[in-house]
């Protein structure tokens, strides 16, 4: 048995630096840093949405539904309020090839609002600081027993 003292050498230092670099890379790759650091400028905003041409059952279910999440990111949206349900509108070319509006009594259009938290940036609104949403963008939302696509109409 040798009683030599083990010494710290340059290879050990390189291995430690590489391991720390890998950990830092993972943190930045999966946005852990942004998720840990909550932005101080988080604001409560009202997001308007619209769902077109849904069945009356789904329209009724949205009234009674529990809270919604964004399907892609699991960002919390809450319970919809100010829901307005109307017969679905559609457009077609008339005899003179002008766009004419019709009404479909078997489908519903839904408009409503969510009260959400997020960050307003130069590029737009980040829902809970992570997901970009803007008027005109379509997102899929879900509750416990309902999944529906909606179009963002306004952010105020």
Give which of 148, 151, 154 is closest to 124, Cα–Cα: 154
Task: Tell me if 114 is assigned to some domain.
Answer: yes
Task: Tell me if 98 is assigned to some domain.
Answer: yes
Decide: helix, strand or coil at residue 20: helix
| Strand ranges in 3-98 using DSSP code E only, listed in sequence order | 43-54, 68-70, 76-78, 81-93
Task: Tell me if 48 is assigned to some domain.
Answer: yes
CB 75 within 8 A of CB 128: yes
**Residue 155's pLDDT is what?**
93
**Residue 40's pLDDT is what?**
63
Task: Tell me if 128 is assigned to some domain.
Answer: yes
Q: What is the four-CA torsion angle of 143, 78, 51, 151, rounded to 10 degrees?
A: -120
Mean pLDDT for each 10-residue chunk of the chain (156 residues)?
72 94 84 59 91 91 82 90 92 90 93 92 81 93 91 94
CB 125 within 8 A of CB 135: no
Task: Tell me if 90 is assigned to some domain.
Answer: yes
Task: Tell me if 142 is assigned to some domain.
Answer: yes
Q: Domain of 77?
A: 40-155
pTM more than 0.85: no
Q: Into how many domains does the chain fold?
A: 1
């Amino acid at each position: 048995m040798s009683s030599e003292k083990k010494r710290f050498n340059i290879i050990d230092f390189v291995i430690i630096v590489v391991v720390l670099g890998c950990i830092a890379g993972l943190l930045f790759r999966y946005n852990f840093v942004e998720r840990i650091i909550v932005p101080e400028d988080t604001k409560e905003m009202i997001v308007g949405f619209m769902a077109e041409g849904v069945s009356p059952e789904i329209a009724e279910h949205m009234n009674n539904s529990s809270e919604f999440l964004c399907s892609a990111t699991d960002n919390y949206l809450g319970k919809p309020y100010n829901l307005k349900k109307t017969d679905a509108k559609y457009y077609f070319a008339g005899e003179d090839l002008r766009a004419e509006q019709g009404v479909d009594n078997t489908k519903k259009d839904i408009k409503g609002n969510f009260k959400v938290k997020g960050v307003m940036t130069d590029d737009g609104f980040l829902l809970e600081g992570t997901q970009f949403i803007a008027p005109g963008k379509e997102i899929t939302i879900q509750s416990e027993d309902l999944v529906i696509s909606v179009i963002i109409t306004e952010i105020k």
